[in-house]
Structure 1
Amino acid sequence: MAFATGMQQANAADWSDTSIGYRYGTKFAEPFNPKDIEKNIVNVTHASGNKYGTDFFNVDFLESDGVDAQAQEAYVLYRHTFDIGAISGAPMKFGPVRGVGVTAGFDWNTKNDPGYASKKHMLVAGPTLMLDVPGFLNVSLLALWESNKPVGVKSRYSYDTHAMLSASWGIPLGHGFSFEGFANYIASKGKDEFGGGTKPETNIDAQVMYDLSPSLSMKPGSLKAGFEYQYWRNKFGNNAKGFAGNGAFAKTPMVRVEYHF
């Protein structure tokens, strides 16, 4: 019993943050659709950590306008990063790096549009460098094992194992502002489920947020609002210069609001 209690204490979160957010934009894009798409997105996010590592979980619920058949989508992402220095008892700090970790997790999505109807499953794993900056900046090199079973495919199709160079950050800017987001460079995943070639993807999603809480007599960090921009070239590996057209190249401004508790 004493051992079990000790393990529970060791694994308890030293910090945690859970939020509900909403974002909206009118310039979303989908491959093979040449028109701008309006989307409303609600997200639930949880992040927590202790001396041995961190957890991150996010689920987006997306609803498109009629240009995308009023499709509804859910996208779930989970990542756990093990801090190797903390686990081994030998800190791994050098130059601008404050720690070295191993990240593992998964992505899962489902969408009910009549054309493609994605059913993505993906596992990820690889090393992570945690950089010594205000807030955090993590850079990972991850292997991706991805599969899908969209409309027209009888059984689940697995793409070639491929790599992703990924960065995520949350950096305070002062005076209530913060710079947050992620950037992914994803290598080609070989042939798609219909026999066509795929292209490398660049997906950058960045936001500048402002903490409204002090002016509303709320706990600092409780309510944030700001602007977000997504740049996604060769979306889902589709060639933006090929048949997928402009819909495979999203350049999307958004407004965003978050409530943290």
Structure 2
Amino acid sequence: MKHFTTTVTAALLTLGTAQPAQALDWMDNTVGYRFGTRFAEPYNPQDIRKHIVNLTHASGHAYGSNYMNLDILKSDRKDDSATEAYLLYRHTWDIGKLSGKEFKGAGMRGLGLTAGFDWNHKNDKGYASRKQMLVAGPTLMVDVPGFLNISLLALWESNNPIGVPKRYRYDTHAMLNAAWGIPLGSGWSFEGYVNYIGSKGRNEFGGPTAPETNLDMQLMYDLSTAAGLKPGKLKAGIEYQYWRNKFGNPSNVPGSLAQTPMIRAEYHF
């Protein structure tokens, strides 16, 4: 676990500092922290306290954009005092820039093709997730202040938790995703994402899965000027996550519904 975290962190920071080699037009790296006391985990009826540190890289080049996020999550004893690493990467190719044809107008800023992966590792004693997932599909870039991207992605997901002798592959399923960052003025911004994920067939133990709804949104305030920094460097605010049928577990499973308020702070560099 320690080796993986060190390796991924180094890779993330290397990507973030590789501007000349990548010919990046823009880049934003973030280290952040969030905390909440009402996290939920399937088959666990208790509210769980978690500290989360994230490293994020976002950048754009002549033909598209990159997004990478690594969360390190630390649970309290109600979740075996577990540590989890969750890594997400997405690359979006701008079809208009690649083809020389503009896909603009009628509220569109552009059209893209997105591909990437998710990877996680958790060391709890009950399930111990080892998720791997590839994603691919089209992305609509909506013409709004800031950004709003809407993607329809195919998901190829597998896992190899405790009690499963070999990696189990779920049915290929779909996800409708929207991600946004909207400036509200006077230093405020509204940011977040929402995923609607279709059922992925039977789980690795033979039980049914259910469609998921995962909404994560933040209201952030720019504290940079008060801290003597350039605008956009230091932000803090509140975050809320609503996750129904978490990880595809049906609603009759304890802990399958998360309604989690959090505090959040982040430094951009």
| 1:9 shift after superposition | 7.1
| 1:257 shift after superposition | 0.2
Partner of 1:230: 241
| 1:51 shift after superposition | 2.8
Q: TM-score, with normalisation over the residues of structure 1?
A: 0.95
Task: Please state if 1:112 is matched with 2:123.
Answer: yes
Task: Please state if 1:30 is matched with 2:41.
Answer: yes
Task: Give the letter aligned to residue 74 of structure 1.
Answer: A
Residues in 2 aligned to 1:98 and 1:216: alpha-carbon distance in whole angstroms: 34
| 1:237 shift after superposition | 0.3
Partner of 1:19: 30
Partner of 2:5: none
Residues in 1 aligned to 2:225 and 2:210: alpha-carbon distance in whole angstroms: 46
Task: Please state if 1:177 is matched with 2:185.
Answer: no
Deviations 1:56-81, CA, capped at 9 Å, x for gaps:
00000000001001010000000000
The one of 253, 258, 265 equivalent to 1:250 is 258
Residues in 2 aligned to 1:223 and 1:11: alpha-carbon distance in whole angstroms: 26
Task: Please state if 1:72 is matched with 2:83.
Answer: yes
| 1:11 shift after superposition | 4.7
Task: Give the letter aligned to residue 130 of structure 2.
Answer: K
Task: Give the letter aligned to residue 257 of structure 2.
Answer: F
Partner of 2:6: none
The one of 165, 175, 189 equivalent to 1:164 is 175
Q: Which SS does the other structure have where 2:97 is aligned?
A: helix
Residues in 1 aligned to 2:43 and 2:177: alpha-carbon distance in whole angstroms: 26
Residues in 2 aligned to 1:53 and 1:135: alpha-carbon distance in whole angstroms: 16
Deviations 1:141-184, CA, capped at 9 Å, x for gaps:
00000000000000000000000000000010000000001000
Structure 2 unmatched ranges of 5 or more: 1-18
Q: TM-score, with normalisation over the residues of structure 2?
A: 0.92
Partner of 2:60: 49
Structure 1 unmatched ranges of 5 or more: 1-7
Residues in 1 aligned to 2:112 and 2:53: alpha-carbon distance in whole angstroms: 30
Residues in 2 aligned to 1:133 and 1:92: alpha-carbon distance in whole angstroms: 15
Partner of 1:205: 216
Task: Give the letter aligned to residue 104 of structure 1.
Answer: A
Cα 1:120–1:218, aligned 2, differ >3 Å: closer, same or farther? same
Deviations 1:92-139, CA, capped at 9 Å, x for gaps:
113111100000000000000000000000000000000000000000
| 1:86 shift after superposition | 0.5
Residues in 2 aligned to 1:68 and 1:204: alpha-carbon distance in whole angstroms: 22
- Runs of 4+ in structure 1 deviating by more than 3 angstroms, as ranges, are 8-11
Residues in 2 aligned to 1:10 and 1:85: alpha-carbon distance in whole angstroms: 23
Q: Which SS does the other structure have where 1:215 is aligned?
A: coil
Deviations 1:18-61, CA, capped at 9 Å, x for gaps:
01000000000000110100000000000000231000000000
Task: Give the letter aligned to residue 254 of structure 1.
Answer: M
- Identity of aligned pairs, percent? 67
The one of 101, 105, 108 equivalent to 1:97 is 108
Partner of 1:216: 227
Residues in 2 aligned to 1:213 and 1:11: alpha-carbon distance in whole angstroms: 28
